[in-house]
Amino acid sequence: MKDTFKHKGLRQQLVNVLINKGINDDSVLKAIGKIPRHLFMDSGFLDHAYQDKAFPIGADQTISQPYTVAFQSELLNIKRGDKVLEIGTGSGYQTAVLCELGAKVYSIERQQELFKKTSKFLPKLGYRAKKLIFGDGYKGLPDEAPFDGVIVTAGAPFVPKPLLSQLKIGGRLVIPVGEDVQVMTLFIRKGQKEFEQEEFGEFRFVPLLEDKN
Ligand code: SAH
């Protein structure tokens, strides 16, 4: 688990790429500048770790593109101490970004293989989520609700109702919605039954799957 001077340099270049693509939240850029993304990837892809691209992480899943991670993190608008639920732990890279932003992170993953691997790996890097859960993200996490923020890191064919109902008033849900292509959508809870909704263009994610295998 090495993080060299060269990696740091490549990371700074990646931060510059994200700035050029329009990311301007300093705390998000700082997190991406700090987290050793190469350690979250299979060894075959190490050389590509600091390109702005998604890569396979096993179990037919991918580590999200850095731009997408930054964009979703920016939309969540996290303050230190916020309680945040992530759906789709995957490699844990987005989880690490949320930890760097000072969030208390709860993250759900439905693939056991990834859940086990990432549960071991994140603490080794010093990232301690409040809870990593093996389960179905469509249900959210009713025992720990309400949340200041909920982030979905897989393409959702529809917006799961529990994720909306588990938001605090003023809380934000960032979710890519659609089948083949997804529209990044932000919901802000304004009242018990009122939600403000805004759309932010198209992205491509692996699908949010319903049944466990
Ligand atoms: N945040 C991850 C992205 C991984 S890709 C990262 O930065 O690496 C999306 C992840 O969502 C995959 O790991 C996939 O297994 C998981 N997933 C798919 N459907 C799910 C569901 N219903 N509940 C929880 N996780 C799910």
Determine the pLDDT at residue 211: 65
Atom of ligand 1 nearest to the CA of 57: 8
Determine the pLDDT at residue 213: 45
- Atom 15 (ligand 1) nearest CA: 111
Determine the pLDDT at residue 42: 81
Are the beta carbons of 28 and 101 closer than 8 angstroms? Answer: yes
Residue type at position 64: S
Q: What is the pLDDT of residues 109-142, one digit of tens each?
A: 999 999 999 999 999 999 999 999 999 999 999 9
DSSP letter string, 31-87: HHHHS-GGGGS-GGGGGGTTSS--EEEETTEEEPPHHHHHHHHHHHT--TT-EEEEE
Which pair of structure tokens corresponds to residue 31?
Answer: 């997190």
pLDDT, averaged per 10 consecutive residues of the chain (213 residues), comes to: 90 97 97 96 82 90 95 97 98 98 98 96 97 97 98 97 98 97 98 97 94 54
Determine the pLDDT at residue 202: 97
CB atoms within 10 A of CB 51: 16
From 132, 209, 210, 213, mutation site for ligand 1 pocket: most ligand atoms within 8 A of C-beta: 209
pTM of the model: 0.96
Ligand 1 within 6 A of 107 CB? no
